[in-house]
Amino acid sequence: MASTYDLALAAIAAGQSLAEAAAAGGERIAYDAVAGRLLTPIDHPDPAHCLVTGTGLTHLGSADARDKMHQEATKEESVTDSMAMFRL
């Protein structure tokens, strides 16, 4: 596979998980051999379809603290977007 995107398409076509498709690929490459030349975890032929995002949360305690802060600020009982992204 040339990219993670290609791997994902192959996995979908074969009805496999990414891990299964990657394991079926056969060749293993040592990280040191490709360090500094790796692309982002997923890419797309059209850069407009590649979105890299994050929540800024690194662990459950941080997620809970931020969720509580947002709930107190808005007085809503729903889970914040930050907590929803963290849980995903």
Q: Give pLDDT tens digits for 14-29.
A: 999 988 998 887 777 8
Q: How far, in Å, CA of 68 to CA of 81, rounded?
A: 12
Is pTM, for the whole model, over 0.85? Answer: no
Q: How far is CA 62 from CA 51, 69, 70, in A?
A: 24, 11, 12
Q: Give pLDDT tens digits for 1-59.
A: 677 888 889 999 999 998 899 888 777 788 888 877 776 667 778 878 877 777 666 66
3-state secondary structure 26-86: CCCCCHHHHCCCCCCCCCCCCHHHCCCCCCCCCCHHHHHHHHHHHHHHHCCCCCCHHHHHH
